[in-house]
């Protein structure tokens, strides 16, 4: 069996990471490891809600997260999950909500490490796919590292090797699940120390990780990172995972292509009986950082409220919003190159350099992450920096340069000559 790569994961999130969101994320990154929402064993065993296990074949690699503490139920559900084709089964020992506490699963199980070990051992021995655990540092007043160390020491006896650690305590009384994601302090050093103390375990860190720079820092000390809300609120950040963490060229589509592919998926799933609004809500974050983001979200709301979608009309309206704003965030090399031609034709007069442009006016509030301001921004827009040297083909319908059969370097040199 090929080993799973969990270097970069998206967290299981209730009401967020359903099969539709996971399909969207997979359009953006081919390498990120995905997880389902938590699925309670009771809903499968007694509620027969097997539609919760449905997923798209494009989602692989994808793990399913189960919530429960009854050994026989967990074993039965694990077998069914393997039959469905999941790549991994994860046991939730981190959710602090009242609902899961009443069902005796989630974070409250950290007080019963022997029961957790028994459950994981039974799950692991009943299937041929990997089994993992997601937990917190501790719960309530159990805040010291010793509690976490003892918990892991017992649970690892199950034979499970993959521990996903949310680097906060879970407060079972007095805080809501949402507050539990923010109020308990982050203690990343506990997770780092855990990796040192248990080098044979695969330790994945979770909690408060906002971007790829944060992820890069954590990966120097643990085996993997798991991003939650930040990946949902700004899914397009995942486009840089392949070149940055896997040392492979990204085959990322532009936002336009991703939107087109996702809307085609939505149309297919509507025919299969899936709810339009549940699928469309996942697009809200796709325009994060763009000038037209508000208008884009309004269009999505109109579709959700109207419960019908005209894909062609929607795409035309979105593209109109995008292209009237030539200062929007560049999505990939192709967008940068195409935009550079528009810049040359529309903003740079013959014989002039680009220094005369008012960059605050041109760029407005566009969120160009990690890119410098002023002159260097314009150089990036014109493709004169090295970030986009993997681009393979160019538009040929420009009035300025004949770009057929032109390499990146030839294009850059032509732009330089034109500007000079």
How many other CB atoms sit within 10 Å of the CB of residue 283?
Answer: 24
CATH number of the domain to which 44 belongs: 3.20.20.70
Domain boundary among 323, 348, 378: 323
119 annotated active-site: no
- Give the pLDDT confidence score for residue 100 in this predicted structure: 62
In degrees rounded to 5, what are phi and psi of residue 9? -125, 155
- Reference 203, options 413, 412, 6, 1; nearest CA is 6
Give this prediction's pTM: 0.75
13 in a domain, yes or no? yes
Do 304 and 192 lie in a common domain? Answer: no
Do 297 and 160 lie in a common domain? Answer: no
Do 318 and 180 lie in a common domain? Answer: no
159 in a domain, yes or no? yes
328 in a domain, yes or no? no
Q: What is the chain's pLDDT, residue by residue, as a tens digit (420 residues)?
A: 678 999 999 999 998 999 999 999 999 999 999 999 999 998 898 888 888 999 999 999 999 999 999 999 999 999 999 999 999 999 999 987 766 666 678 889 999 999 999 999 999 999 999 999 999 999 988 889 999 999 999 999 999 999 999 999 988 887 777 787 778 899 999 999 999 999 999 999 999 999 999 999 999 999 999 999 999 999 999 999 998 998 887 766 688 889 989 999 999 999 999 988 899 999 999 988 888 888 888 888 888 877 677 777 877 777 666 555 434 433 444 444 444 444 444 433 443 333 333 333 333 323 322 333 333 333 333 433 333 333 333 333 333 333 344 444 555 555 555 444
Which residues does 313 contact at the CB level (< 8 Å), separation at least 6? none
Do 233 and 297 lie in a common domain? Answer: no
Sign of CA dihedral 112, 113, 117, 118: negative
Catalytic one of 9, 77, 95, 119: 95
Cross-strand bridge partners of residue 224: 204
15 in a domain, yes or no? yes
- Give the pLDDT confidence score for residue 1 in this predicted structure: 62
Domain boundary among 290, 323, 356: 323
State the total domains in the chain. 3
Residue-number span of the structural domain to which 46 is assigned? 8-246
Pairing state of beta strands 202-206 and 62-67?
Answer: unpaired
- Give the pLDDT confidence score for residue 300 in this predicted structure: 87
3 in a domain, yes or no? no
Q: List the helix and strand counts (H, then E) for the chain.
A: 19, 8
Cα(383)–Cα(410) distance, integer angstroms: 11
Do 231 and 374 lie in a common domain? Answer: no
Domain boundary among 276, 294, 323: 323
How many angstroms separate the most distant Cα atoms in the chain?
A: 78
Do 232 and 290 lie in a common domain? Answer: no
2 in a domain, yes or no? no
Do 155 and 240 lie in a common domain? Answer: yes
Do 239 and 353 lie in a common domain? Answer: no
1 in a domain, yes or no? no
End-to-end distance of the chain based on CA atoms, in angstroms?
Answer: 58
Encode 354-381: b = buried (16+ Cβ within 10 Å), e = exposed. beebebeebbeebebeebeeeeebbebb
Do 216 and 90 lie in a common domain? Answer: yes
Do 74 and 172 lie in a common domain? Answer: yes
29 in a domain, yes or no? yes
- Give the pLDDT confidence score for residue 179 in this predicted structure: 83
Do 282 and 377 lie in a common domain? Answer: no
Do 217 and 337 lie in a common domain? Answer: no
SS3 assignment, position 104: coil
């Amino acid at each position: 069996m090929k080993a799973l790569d969990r270097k970069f994961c998206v967290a299981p999130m209730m009401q967020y990471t359903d099969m539709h969101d996971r399909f969207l994320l997979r359009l953006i990154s081919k390498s990120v490891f995905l997880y389902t929402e938590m699925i309670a064993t009771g809903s499968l065993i007694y509620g027969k809600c097997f539609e919760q296990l449905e997923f798209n074949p494009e989602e692989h690699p994808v793990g399913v997260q189960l919530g429960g503490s009854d050994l026989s139920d967990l074993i039965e559900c694990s077998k069914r999950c393997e039959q469905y084709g999941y790549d991994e089964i994860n046991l939730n020992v981190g959710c602090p909500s009242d609902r899961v506490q009443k069902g005796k699963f989630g974070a409250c199980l950290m007080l019963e490490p022997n029961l957790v070990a028994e459950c994981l051992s039974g799950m692991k021995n009943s299937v041929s796919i990997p089994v993992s655990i997601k937990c917190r540092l501790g719960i309530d007043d159990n805040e010291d590292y010793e509690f976490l160390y003892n918990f892991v020491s017992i649970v690892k006896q199950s034979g499970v090797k993959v521990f996903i650690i949310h680097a906060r305590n879970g407060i079972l009384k007095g805080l809501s699940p949402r507050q539990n994601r923010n109020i308990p302090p982050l203690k990343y050093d506990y997770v780092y120390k855990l990796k040192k103390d248990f080098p044979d375990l695969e330790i994945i860190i979770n909690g408060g990780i906002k971007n790829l720079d944060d992820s890069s820092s954590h990966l120097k000390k643990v085996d993997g990172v798991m991003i939650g809300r930040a990946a949902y609120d700004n899914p397009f950040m995942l486009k840089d995972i392949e070149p940055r963490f896997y040392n492979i060229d990204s085959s990322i589509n532009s936002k336009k292509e991703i939107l087109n592919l996702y809307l085609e998926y939505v149309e297919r799933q509507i025919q299969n009986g899936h709810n339009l609004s549940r699928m469309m809500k996942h697009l809200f974050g796709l325009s994060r950082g763009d000038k037209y983001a508000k208008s884009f979200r309004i269009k999505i709301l109109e579709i959700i409220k109207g419960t019908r979608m005209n894909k062609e009309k929607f795409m035309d309206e979105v593209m109109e919003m995008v292209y009237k704003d030539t200062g929007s965030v560049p999505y990939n090399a192709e967008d940068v190159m195409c935009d550079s031609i528009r810049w040359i034709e529309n903003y740079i007069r013959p014989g002039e350099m680009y220094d005369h442009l008012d960059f605050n006016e041109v760029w407005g509030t566009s969120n160009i992450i990690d890119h410098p301001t002023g002159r260097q921004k314009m150089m990036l827009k014109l493709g004169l920096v090295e970030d986009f040297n993997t681009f393979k083909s160019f538009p040929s319908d420009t009035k300025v340069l004949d770009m057929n059969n032109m390499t990146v370097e030839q294009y850059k040199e032509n732009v330089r000559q034109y500007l000079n």
